[in-house]
Amino acid sequence: MRASRRAAASDAASLLASATPANQPRMPPSRPLTLPPPVSALNLRLRALFALLLPPLLGIAGLLLVWALVAKGSDYLPGPGKTFTSAVQLFSDPFYRTGPNDQGIAWNLLASLERVAKGFGAAVLVGIPLGFLIGRFSVLNRALQPIISLLRPVSPLAWLPIGLAVFQAANPAAVFTIFICAIWPLLINTALGVASVPQDYLNVARVLNLSEWKVFTRILLPASIPYVLTGAKLSLGIAWLAIVASEMLTGGTGIGFWLWDEWNNLNMEHILIAILVVGLVGLLLEQGMSAIARRYDYRSQ
């Protein structure tokens, strides 16, 4: 029995050897598959943060480089280093106050933000309800559309003399200028949001015999909130632009007045610092409104 098994095994081996070509290369022995080490969650977060921050940092570095090159060939424009040194001295005591026209940059910035808050708040209280009425009633839309198209392109500085003539004071005139310039984006975007509500929703409200208040609270307001917040973001940006120009002409306190006063003193470092502060505050206001708009935008959820 054992002899027959050995003979069968030798015959199978000789058959396998004859079936395999002599010149066929032998396969190397397989090696175990090695996987790369797993990337930790911290490394993934660091990579994402690096990819997020690198482009803005490169852009800022490029701006500083161009600024330094331009300042190197100019007798009046200070470079980034000199401006930074002046900024450190300026912000070391931002809340000093020695007189009505001599106070720290923080007081001027707070005065400007207060005027912007008043003008923007008045624009919200007037522009949003009026925008709902314009978007809801086509007759009112046709009646006010020529007036809006006529007054909206007017420069903010053109409204300042009217404000001075009406209020006989610089501060309310500046607030009035902010209000009249900031109301148009709120008005137009709110009306657009109300007009964009599908007609089927309004037909269902008519079939259910809903009151106008329920139509407003249940249909128009939720559907138009993204448009309203977009208009508020644009309006706040215009309000911040208008206050700087208004304060440069009205005087008193404010970041615009401080910038113009430093120009009269030929302090170019402080002028550049004022420009950077205005840009930074405007950026923060815009980002804040954008965050609120994303929070209540049902289209992105």
Task: Determine the Cα–Cα distance for residues 144 and 127; give it in Å rounded to an integer.
Answer: 13
Tell me: the pLDDT tens digits for 258-300? 888 888 888 888 899 999 999 999 889 888 888 887 777 655 5
Q: Is the model's pLDDT at 143 over the cut of 70?
A: yes
Give the pLDDT score at 189: 92
Q: Report the sign of the C-alpha dihedral through residues 122, 109, 158, 168, in that order.
A: positive
Burial class of 102 by CB neighbour count within 10 A (0 to 12, 13 to 18, 19+) = exposed
Give the pLDDT score at 15: 46
CA of residue 181 relative to chain centroid, distance? 19
In the chain the domains, ranked by start, together with CATH numbers, are 103-300 (1.10.3720.10)
Task: Determine the Cα–Cα distance for residues 108 and 220; give it in Å rounded to an integer.
Answer: 40
Tell me: the pLDDT tens digits for 57-116? 888 888 889 888 888 887 788 888 888 888 888 888 888 888 767 788 888 899 999 999
Geometric angle at alpha carbon 191, from 138 and 126, rounded to 5°:
110
Q: Is the model's pLDDT at 234 over the cut of 60?
A: yes
Residue 154 and residue 210 in contact, taking contact as beta carbons nearer than 8 Å: no
Least confident of 15-19, 35-39, 154-158, 274-278: 15-19
| Full DSSP string of the chain | -HHHHHHHHHHHHHHHHHHS-TTSPPPPPP-PPPPPPPPPHHHHHHHHHHHHHHHHHHHHHHHHHHHHHHHHT-SSS--HHHHHHHHHHHHTSTT-EEETTEE-HHHHHHHHHHHHHHHHHHHHHHHHHHHHHHHH-HHHHHHHHHHHHHHTTS-HHHHHHHHHHHHSSHHHHHHHHHHHHHHHHHHHHHHHHHHTS-HHHHHHHHHTT--HHHHIIIIIHHHHHHHHHHHHHHHHHHHHHHHHHHHHHH-SSSHHHHHHHHHHTT-HHHHHHHHHHHHHHHHHHHHHHHHHHHHT-GGG-
- The single-letter code of the amino acid at 72 is K
